[in-house]
Structure 1
Amino acid sequence: MPEVTTHTRTVPLGETVLELSWAASTEVGRRREVNQDAVLADYPLFVVADGMGGHLGGEIASASTVERLRAVVATGPVSTKNIEKALSRAVKDIVAHPETTDEGTGTTLTGVYLETQTDEPHWVTLNIGDSRVYLLRDGEIVQVTTDHSVVQELIAAGRLSPEEAENHPYGNVITRAVGPSDSVKPDYLRLDVLDGDRFVICSDGLTKELTDFGIRHFLEANANPAAAVEAMMAAALENGGRDNISIVVLDVIRRSA
């Protein structure tokens, strides 16, 4: 497992200062031959993409999506409008690539970015598919995003319990993706910027192997983002590593300037 590094950024916010620290890692896992996940962790945008599709299709879809978003970070600003433009470009890249002939080719996309263009800064989560954003706040961990999956729709309709969902045969079937046949508009949610928050952004390769309680445990046991990522990755691999695994941990400190 490659070494994971913690990165930092200080962001002035009027009368307060935001101190961000984060770390990211992606692994092929123990059962897959190719890593179809892609990660972008570059202030102010932190995302994970989990590709799907035969041959190299999924790898190309996730990489194209992340590269288009990387360009948004480089040129700015990161906004819902510019994210959706980037995703439209990524879909064109996917369609045009000779290796992405499978109709099922596409990628999930989930993450969070810091919006500072408004009077009061806030976090914005974005989500397409079943990768997830978690938030640890005041000792409680919450899944912020809602999965776009067959299983989640069954849970929402009251036809399936969360316990039954864990081993459901349609557990890997998602209902939305960044791909040729799907809308590229993510779900968004705005969150307050609070001192002490910790975000986990991950592909389902992590949540197949660790419960929400397990994720909280490793966050609480590891104050440093890189250590938390390494501990969760090691546990996910030890528990089977059935899929590609991608993890970003983002820590927030907000103090007076």
Structure 2
Amino acid sequence: MKTAVRSHIGRVRQLNEDRAWVGTTPGGLTAAAVADGMGGHNAGDVASTLAIDSLSKSLSAWEGVVSAIEAEEKLKAIVLAANAAVFEAASTKPQYHNMGTTVVVALLDEREGLIGHIGDSRAYRVRGGAIEQLTDDHTLVNELARSGQLSREEAANHPRRNVLTRALGTDADVSVDLQRIDMLPGDRLLICSDGLSALVDKALILDTMNTEGVTLDQRADRLIALALTAGGDDNVTVALIEYEAETVTRDGGTP
């Protein structure tokens, strides 16, 4: 597995409230997380920092588990611990009242993985020349679109498209969306804040993810550049994980 992570303040904001982390567990699993903070008086960056600090500490101590169900419960507990850290700070310090953050976290081996998320930061998987959005935005307009009250085009341009229906740290209890995914050689996973997904067309993201002859770091740089070219009116953060394709020998086997 290869990884890359990039974050940029953008062209408009005075503070970067996004945070990201990639790392490896003691058992050799690849982990990544992105958080996009919210809150007045610079509280958004506090929320995202607390969340990523909690997640990275927990994931860096992840030990092997015996079943997929156990792994799901453990990842859920890790995200809820991050929720508790942010909520406690928001509850005890008036300047951080009602702060919160989105979060997407991925935990992968070379066959499968887990994705956990809260909010509207996203995870995409690129496979076989196609891109698939793995997460479902926890936003008001997405709920309206899913119920048929808005078209997808109307939702994309709605003035309240950034209103979250669920965030990490704003409440003592929160529901975490979890899903299992499979991984195949050549797959690439993109985790990003809405500074990318809300500004850059999915076809352009796919084109960048599929471009041959570039490194994973260069792909990350290009994704950031696309968001800035599109206006850069928000912080933008990307974390990439690539499952390298197996090298085939002349006799058709693998080394």
Q: Which TM-score bucket, shorter chain as reference?
A: 0.7 to 0.9
Provide the rounded CA distance (Å) in 2 between the counterparts of 1:254 and 1:86: 35
The alignment-based identity, stated in percent, is 34
Provide the rounded CA distance (Å) in 2 between the counterparts of 1:172 and 1:88: 20
Q: Please give the root-mean-square deviation of Cα atoms over the aligned residues, in Å.
A: 2.0
Provide the rounded CA distance (Å) in 1 between the counterparts of 2:132 and 2:166: 22
Q: Calculate the TM-score normalised by the size of structure 2.
A: 0.85
Counterpart of 1:190 in structure 2 is 180
- For structure 1, the 5+ residue unaligned runs are 1-19
Deviation at 1:184, TM superposition (A): 3.4
Q: Which of 98, 101, 104 is residue 96 of structure 2 equivalent to?
A: 101
Counterpart of 2:190 in structure 1 is 200
Deviation at 1:193, TM superposition (A): 2.1
Q: Calculate the TM-score normalised by the size of structure 1.
A: 0.84
Provide the rounded CA distance (Å) in 1 between the counterparts of 2:156 and 2:145: 11
Provide the rounded CA distance (Å) in 2 between the counterparts of 1:239 and 1:115: 34
Counterpart of 2:236 in structure 1 is 245
Counterpart of 1:54 in structure 2 is 40
Q: Is the 8 A contact 1:151 1:171 kept in 2?
A: yes
Q: Is the 8 A contact 2:84 2:169 kept in 1?
A: no
Q: Which of 86, 109, 114 is residue 108 of structure 2 equivalent to?
A: 114
Task: Give the structure with the higher percent strand.
Answer: 1
Deviation at 1:21, TM superposition (A): 0.6
2:215 aligned with 1:224, yes or no?
yes
Matches within 5 A, 1:57-68: 57-68=43-54
Counterpart of 2:151 in structure 1 is 161
Counterpart of 1:12 in structure 2 is none
Structure 1 residues 178 and 236: CA distance shift in structure 2, 3 A:
same
Provide the rounded CA distance (Å) in 2 between the counterparts of 1:221 and 1:167: 29
Larger deviation: 56-65 or 83-92?
83-92
2:23 aligned with 1:42, yes or no?
yes
User: Match of 1:253, SS?
Assistant: coil
Structure 1 residues 176 and 140: CA distance shift in structure 2, 3 A:
same
Q: How many residues align?
A: 233
- For structure 2, the 5+ residue unaligned runs are 25-29, 64-70, 247-253
Deviation at 1:74, TM superposition (A): 2.5
Provide the rounded CA distance (Å) in 2 between the counterparts of 1:216 and 1:147: 19
Counterpart of 1:33 in structure 2 is 14
2:227 aligned with 1:236, yes or no?
yes
User: Match of 2:104, SS?
Assistant: strand
Provide the rounded CA distance (Å) in 2 between the counterparts of 1:162 and 1:243: 21
Q: Which of 85, 92, 98 is residue 90 of structure 1 equivalent to?
A: 85
Q: Deviations over 1:234-253 (max 9, x none)?
A: 11111100100001111112
Deviation at 1:212, TM superposition (A): 0.9
Larger deviation: 235-244 or 246-255?
246-255
2:131 aligned with 1:141, yes or no?
yes
Deviation at 1:99, TM superposition (A): 6.1
Q: Is the 8 A contact 2:106 2:115 kept in 1?
A: yes
Question: Which letter maps to 1:238?
Answer: T
Provide the rounded CA distance (Å) in 2 between the counterparts of 1:38 and 1:73: 16
